[in-house]
Amino acid sequence: MFSKNPLSKLGQGTKSFFSFVTRNSKNIFTKSFTLGRKTKEQLFPPEPEDINQQLILGLNRKKIPNWSQLKQLPKFLNKQEKLQILVAILIFVIASTTFGWRTYVDNSIAVPAKGGSYTEGLIGTPRLVNPVLAATDVDRDLNKLVFSGLMKFDEQGQLVPDLASGYTIDAEGKTYTFELKDNLRWHDGQKIIADDIIFTINSIKNPEYKSPFKNSFNGITVHRINDKTVQFRLENPFSPFLSILTIGIIPEHLWYSIPAFGAALADLNIKPIGSGPYQFKSLTRDSEGIIRNYNLEVYEDYHLGPAYISNLSFKFYPDFLTGVTALENSNIDGLIYLPKEFKDELKNSKINLHNLQFPQYTALFFNPTNNSVLKDSKFRQALALSVNKQRILIEVLNNDGQIINSPVLPGMLGYDAELKGEEFNLDQAKALLEELDWKINEEEQFRTKGEEDDKEELSVKLTTVDQSENVKIISIIKESWESIGIKTELEIISKDKIKQSIIEPRNYQVLVFGEVININSGPYPFWHSSQNESPGLNLSVLANKDIDKALELVRQAKTNDDKLEPLQNFQEKLLELNFAIFLYNPTYTYPTTNKLKGLDNLQFINLPADRFNNINSWYIKTKRVLSQD
């Protein structure tokens, strides 16, 4: 007789197949590869002897059930069997996904992707986002992002063309000709042409603009050859000229109608149109009209290719204490600079500290016009012998820097590690003072010279800016100088007055100050006697013809090799005469969130704004692509 339910036999065969899979789920991948080798008896039950069963099973001789059969499966499984199959399927899916992802990861690499935002804290507020007028770190930072020059510094600190596609220099080194790249555009879509370069340089030279860069272009004229070609002519060869042309170019079509005398008041100084990697987006002010937030967005048509990070935002703080607090609380992703005194306080584990080489040094500068005793080089030598540089480095910088003996710093052309200044030696300093007839009596604390009526007390005044680092320095020096009988008066000046009240009028005897130097312009602006008065930068108001001659030779040299000998002569004479006491070259610490990537090659900066030299390489987001290997 025929079976009452022939489908039950079919279900038994199918059920046996899935029972097999369930029982062997742990080895499902291995079994799947060897399944074809199994015998028919292992995979399916023997053919039934009943003729009715044979007829039913003969309808489909496939070894694996079809979809119609599989749909009937739940009818023949109990709850435990269903659960077993579900677990097996789940294991298979998870294992397959994991295996596939692992294979993909092993054969692909993470690369930068577009998107994300970065917020940085700056100290101060923006006022002149205009490369012709910028004079503060905040303004220079924003200018670096919004504007482009004919030349630029790359992440290695090397000069490379920016708006220029190339340039030529004549044999005399007095004529420079630049070709512009094709299809250059301002952020408003207008073309960049040679007229924009000429307008920018002439604006800098115009005294009504009061540009801080005016002296850099003295004796230089610029001419238009055609829309894409400009030519500069110099009165004398000047090897650092290319570095000057990193200054940003401003759009003539927007600035030509603004009077030069009122340029500093133009709205374009706050809402600029440039050609750099980022363009102005928005700003917010507080109730007093002070800018608190400044937002930039990526410029997609940037001539060197768009940056990865979509948006840059800046928040402005009155001091570093407030800025560091914001960084620690994750209100910002980075800070322009991390002062040494805050390093130990910063406990945010998500912050990376980038230690950059920076051409800055702190030194003691002498002004004999305000204290005649400083005219004597032997007295200056005694002062140098009684300054403990090692103690200053440890107690002030916590060893985060290096002792120096000259303004030519490590890594700069002409640096000589064998060149040594005066070593700390109080006994030798005392002997020199005795030689100079500065005597000290047992009942007196300080040295004097002369008889009772004409007795002169040996004293100097140490002046510095009101920063904790500098205040610690002069306290240590005062202790040392007074220990050998030199009365030392301290004068601490606020940051907002130091330039106008002290530096520009050279109103000091001995000044402790940090100078940031331009490695491409060389030491001439800081040490030639022609720069002794403001706006010159020579803070040691001393003159020597040998030093001047060496600096002039460096300035006129056409190659780096030609500069080496005069640079050596300059440093040796400077140390021989003790024109200054060089203390240390600090490390520039730039803190950023660890979500920010692409800064690995950033090692040297010429100015704080140069940390953005490789902004196009920065990224936050990533994507994976198959590797080529």
Position 24 pLDDT exceeds 90: no
Q: What is the pLDDT of residues 444-477, one digit of tens each?
A: 899 999 887 788 999 999 999 998 899 999 999 9
Question: Residue 62: what pLDDT?
Answer: 55
Q: Where are the alpha helices (DSSP H) in 128-255?
A: 137-146, 194-205, 241-244, 252-255
Structure tokens at 144: 């670096």
Question: Residue 238: what pLDDT?
Answer: 85
Q: Is 3.30.450.20 the CATH number for 360-586? A: no
Give the pLDDT band (50/70/90) at residue 1. very low
Are 458 and 447 in contact by the 8 Å Cβ rule? The answer is yes
Question: Residue 76: what pLDDT?
Answer: 73
Structure tokens at 401: 């820097």
Q: In the Cβ-directed half-sphere of 32, how many Cα atoms lie within 13 Å?
A: 9
Domain boundaries, the chain: 6-106, 116-146+276-353+589-629, 148-266, 360-586
Matching residue, tokens 């130990």: 344
Position 12 pLDDT exceeds 80: no
Question: Residue 50: what pLDDT?
Answer: 60
Q: What is the pLDDT of residues 120-158, one digit of tens each?
A: 999 999 999 999 999 899 999 999 999 999 999 887 778
Q: What is the rounded distance in angstroms from the CA atom of residue 202 to the CA atom of residue 160?
A: 23
Q: What is the rounded distance in angstroms from the CA atom of residue 476 to the CA atom of residue 464?
A: 13
Average pLDDT, the chain: 87
Structure tokens at 350: 């998500």
Vertex 539 angle, CA 533 and 545, to 5°: 75
Q: What is the CA radius of gyration of the chain?
A: 37
The model's pTM is 0.73
Q: Where are the alpha helices (DSSP H) in 398-544?
A: 426-435, 468-483, 495-497, 524-527
What is the CA 511 to chain-centroid distance, rounded?
A: 29
Question: Residue 398: what pLDDT?
Answer: 86
Closest among 356, 313, 271, 303 to 149, alpha carbons compared: 303
Give the pLDDT band (50/70/90) at residue 407. very high
Q: What is the rounded distance in angstroms from the CA atom of residue 377 to the CA atom of residue 387?
A: 16
Q: For residue 231, what are the β-bridge partners?
A: 177, 223
The distance in angstroms from the start CA to the end CA of the chain is 69
The topology (CATH level 3) of 116-146+276-353+589-629 is D-Maltodextrin-Binding Protein; domain 2 (3.40.190)
- The better pLDDT of the pair 94, 104 is held by 94
Q: What is the pLDDT of residues 359-379, one digit of tens each?
A: 899 999 999 999 999 999 999
Position 344 pLDDT exceeds 60: yes
Vertex 238 angle, CA 236 and 242, to 5°: 135
Q: What is the rounded distance in angstroms from the CA atom of residue 379 to the CA atom of residue 333?
A: 49
Are 586 and 362 in contact by the 8 Å Cβ rule? The answer is yes
The topology (CATH level 3) of 148-266 is Dipeptide-binding Protein; domain 1 (3.90.76)
